[in-house]
A and B are shown apart, each in its own frame.
Chain A
Amino acid sequence: MTDQTAGQDMIAADGMPLKKSLAKSLQREKMRALMLIAPLLIFVLITFIFPIGSMLFRSVENSIVQDTLPKTVVALQDWDELSGELPDEAVFTAFVEDFIIAVENKEHTRIGSRLNYEVSGMSSLFRKSARKVKKWDPVQDAPFRDKLIDVDKDWGDPATWSIIKTHSVKYTNGYFLNAIDMQRTAEGAQAQPEDKQILIKLFIRTVKMSLIITGMCILLGYPVAWILANLPNRSANMLMILVLLPFWTSLLVRTSAWKVMLQNQGVINDTLVWLGLVSNDARLEIINNQFGTITAMTHILLPFMILPMYSVMQTIPPSYLRAAKSLGATNWTAFWRVYFPQSIPGIGAGSILVFILAIGYYITPEIVGGTDGVFISNRIAYHISSSLNWGLAAALGAILLAVVLVLYWAYDKIVGIDNVKLG
């Protein structure tokens, strides 16, 4: 088979060095394995990695200003936006030339929308100006400075030009600055006015409430998983159906059902009033606030906690508890010192699942969260579907992703990721 002389490279039967021969045969195996997973890989790549990648790319992409107003951007380079003076005629001429082409291509409103994200009023400024400017001729009607200021006095405000210049870079940090309650200005990154600061607060609230929800799921799910794991198979299957039952109802229906339960004239308040525990004019405020969000989301996410816990607990043989008791441990000590530590991988897996799901939720907080129970995802949804500020939405999403990754890393450091078992 092989030449076993000490100190020499092993040689395979065909005379090739053994290491090379081994690598070659492994290579074949690897190729085969790759072929087998190729359909999935391609599927994930096309439907998941690529869209997410392109979405994340939006958080920095900002070529619209350069593409729509190329001459203006070049002309503005020589203008000092901090001087407080209007740019010279060259800039106005370049702008009108760019603008006429943009209007022809119907692109002027898009850049107006883009700049309106930074300063209110740009949208109508561009829309309004287009009606006049499109009738001008770039050569005969020059000079344009005063004419343009006639169209709208905002063109006479250096701040307007400063906005164009500040946001003319091809790749911008502007969206990320916006996402953390700051803004890109001529003087560099600055904090948003205090009455517009909301996003950091929402990030913190989202993480905090997701942690609380995860904690509630652990507290409520652990005993259920334990019972499931220790029941005979038949009864366990029955109970499992009850655990999975919520999955068979639409999320919207479940959330709305919580509304019926929790609202002021709802089932819980009615019952408490009827029992005389709460007076009729002091009904409990348990919906449209954080409590409502936590309650409804804990219920909705509970199965995601119970299932991994259950599958881990199932693998813990009952003999461990018996051994602990035979060694003199009380029921509690046996549970706490022997059973619980072994169920931690299930708790870990469940917690990661629930936390990651919770942090991205928005339907439930939207419906039962009121004002102080909404999440950052609700803002992302707003910017995706209402304001169409996808750059900001992408930046918020990227930060959310980063937060999850950081927490994942922290979990790995503290508990160890190999300590996570889904079954």
Chain B
Amino acid sequence: MALDNSRDAFVQFNRVQKSYDGETLVVKDLNLDIPKGEFLTMLGPSGSGKTTCLMMLAGFETATHGDIMLDGVSINNIPPHKRGIGMVFQNYALFPHMTIAENLSFPLEVRKMGKSEREEKVKRALDMVEMGAFGGRRPAQLSGGQQQRVALARALVFEPELVLMDEPLGALDKQLREKMQFEITDLAHRLGITVVYVTHDQTEALTMSDRVAVFNDGRIQQIAPPDALYEEPENSFVAQFIGENNTLEGVVKEISNGRALVQLDSGDLIDCKPINVSEPGQRTRVSIRPERVEFHKDRLSPDAHLLKATVKEFIYMGDIFRTRLSVAGNDDFIIKSRNAPDQVRLQPGQEIEIGWLADDCRALDA
């Protein structure tokens, strides 16, 4: 993985700030290094500043403060067309009055490339996205997925080292989206290009990226590989935002040996892993993933704290069972269990006891 290479940055945001109105900052003090060949996703709710960052990188917005470096050179004053960055737009932005081949040929023409060379490159790029037969058509004659591929081919045809993608799969249906996710990452790794990808879809972010930068309120909340992000969220925003999550609120009683004893507001005591709590008396929000909650006593460690729970609702979802419980005053406590031959189907009203490994329970900021 790119991450393992030396970390001299290919793209670098250095204390970048951006304000549109001179009153509020949309991007607050952003620092980010992206090594060559990495697939980095900027993930966050709308208004979190991720798209603004992408536009600054592309050159369509200027940074109010700070430097953006590309390959060691500041690009603050370089106009977009000289940056040599490929870009895939949300609605593809294929030129409707040109054929597919003309669309692909466009970046080569403005680079004054010879005709035969252009044709060859266009053909290769179209073949690469399996659209070789569609060169003579117009964008409006293609399906959404086909347009997506053409947009990709067009962003790649002039062989940029950096490609930006702004929610490129947003307009596709679920199945196609999953297929394209795979194709894009595959292509990116095959060509060894650096990709900065913006999305608000966390599944997309998790499945495609080498690293994900979670944006909120103009800041990067956490930047980490997908597994780390999911399993080890560093604050409650990330924990909430990435995947499904159960939260219980309480106060830290004591911290020792990498364990925090938390007294929930209901009075129950549980063991957790302290993440950003440091001393007793702090309020904390405890986060546990639904699939890590266990109600088979025999599968729990003997010293685990157990909590009483009442089954509220049982939902059959095919591959998994999803059960809603009432736990320590929280009526929306979800557990997920695999649909296996020996799995128990809980009944609403049933009283059970649940528990988890202390490492799976993360004590975060309140």
Contacts and interface: CB of A to CB of B under 8 A. Distances in A.
* Chain A–chain B contact at Cβ < 8 A: yes
Contacts of B84: 328
B340 interface: no
Interface stretch (A88-96, A121-129, A334-342): A334-342
A327 B89 contact: no
Interface string A302-323: 0000000000000001011011
A266 to B, nearest CB: 45
A331 B110 CA distance: 11
Given A322-B58, A322-B60, A323-B89, A330 B81 contact: yes
Contact of B110 (A317, A322, A333): A333
Contacts of A320: 93, 95
Query: Helix, strand, loop or mixed for chain B's interface?
Result: loop
A342 B93 CA distance: 13
**Most chain-B CB neighbours within 10 Å: which of A320, A323, A334?**
A323
How many B residues are at the interface, by size bracket?
20 to 34
Contacts of A325: 59-60, 79-81
A335 to B, nearest CB: 12
A322 B106 contact: no
A326 B110 contact: no
A420 to B, nearest CB: 15
B337 to A, nearest CB: 44
B106 A324 contact: yes
How many A residues are at the interface, by size bracket?
10 to 19
Interface in B162-202: 164
Interface in B260-296: none
B211 interface: no
B90 interface: yes
Contacts of B154: 327
Given A319-B93, A320-B95, A326 B158 contact: no
Contacts of B85: 326
B243 interface: no
Contacts of B106: 324, 327, 329, 337
A326 B96 contact: no
A338 B91 contact: no
Nearest to A419: B97
B93 A317 contact: yes
A338 B95 CA distance: 7
Interface string B308-334: 000000000000000000000000000
A327 B91 contact: no
Nearest to A326: B87
Contacts of A323: 87, 89, 93, 95
A324 B96 CA distance: 12
B98 to A, nearest CB: 8
Contacts of B164: 326
Interface string B85-121: 1110111010111000000001100110000000000
Interface in A325-370: 325-331, 333-334, 337-338, 341-342
Given A333-B110, A337-B106, A322 B80 contact: yes
Contact of A329 (B60, B97, B110, B155): B110
A341 B81 contact: no
20 contacts: A322-B89, A322-B93, A323-B93, A324-B106, A325-B60, A325-B79, A326-B58, A326-B81, A326-B86, A326-B87, A327-B86, A327-B107, A327-B158, A328-B81, A328-B107, A328-B110, A328-B111, A329-B81, A333-B110, A342-B97
Given A325-B59, A326-B85, A327-B110, 15 more contacts: A322-B87, A322-B89, A323-B95, A325-B79, A325-B80, A326-B58, A326-B80, A326-B83, A326-B86, A327-B158, A328-B82, A328-B107, A329-B106, A329-B110, A330-B81
Interface of B: 58-60, 79-87, 89-91, 93, 95-97, 106-107, 110-111, 154-155, 158, 164
Top 7 closest pairs, chain A to chain B, by CB = A327-B107, A323-B93, A326-B87, A319-B93, A325-B80, A341-B97, A325-B81
